[in-house]
């Protein structure tokens, strides 16, 4: 019987050890599940924080753009008021868009066209693009062709806005002089 007692003790201690091992294993599984969940939550928190930072940066850019638009609108109002004080009322001006693309014109025609858009009291031209070129490399743009030479065209590209005084400009502002 003395032998049975140590076996019972051994069996009891083995059962206790297995029970302790089972509890420790269950605690380890629960801790691993919690860790995995916490790691996923951390990754999601980092993603949310990154999205929030990006949204903040975009909002700052939009705010800066809005401030620039407000400043632009204030400048435009001030400029419009100053222009009207000087008699340059917008209703006294007309607008034409000019778009000549890589056209071949004779030198005299190109000179006439350029003279027609020259700035005067009655018109202002704002060029967006201007290019004038000879068609042959031996020609000079600023040298007139020889009198006996056959007229050679030039290439002209001209794009912009021509502002001109309208006929009713005098009625809008009596200080505007007659058009020539």
Identify the band that residue 81 occupies on the pLDDT scale cut at 50, 70 and 90: confident
Distance CA 89, CA 106 (A): 38
Distance CA 32, CA 115 (A): 86
Tens of pLDDT, residues 132-151: 888 877 777 777 777 667 77
* Chain-centroid distance, C-alpha 76: 20
Closest CA to 92 of 159, 179, 2: 179
Instruction: Specify the range with the lowest mean pLDDT, choosing from 95-99, 128-132, 145-149.
Output: 145-149
């Amino acid at each position: 019987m003395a032998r049975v007692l140590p076996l019972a003790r051994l069996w009891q201690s083995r059962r206790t050890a297995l029970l302790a091992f089972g509890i420790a294993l269950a605690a380890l599984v629960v801790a691993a599940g919690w860790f995995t969940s916490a790691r996923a939550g951390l990754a999601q928190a980092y993603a949310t924080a990154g999205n929030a930072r990006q949204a903040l940066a975009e909002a700052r850019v939009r705010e800066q753009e809005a401030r620039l638009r407000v400043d632009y609108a204030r400048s435009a109002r001030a400029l419009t008021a100053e222009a009207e004080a000087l008699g340059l009322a917008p209703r006294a001006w007309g607008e034409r868009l000019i778009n000549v693309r890589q056209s071949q014109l004779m030198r005299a025609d190109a000179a006439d066209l350029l003279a027609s858009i020259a700035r005067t009291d009655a018109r202002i031209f704002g060029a967006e693009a201007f290019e004038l070129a000879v068609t042959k490399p031996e020609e000079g743009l600023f040298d007139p062709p020889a009198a006996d030479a056959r007229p050679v065209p030039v290439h002209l590209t001209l794009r912009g806005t021509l502002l001109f005084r309208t006929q009713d400009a005098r009625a809008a502002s009596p200080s505007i002089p007659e058009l020539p």
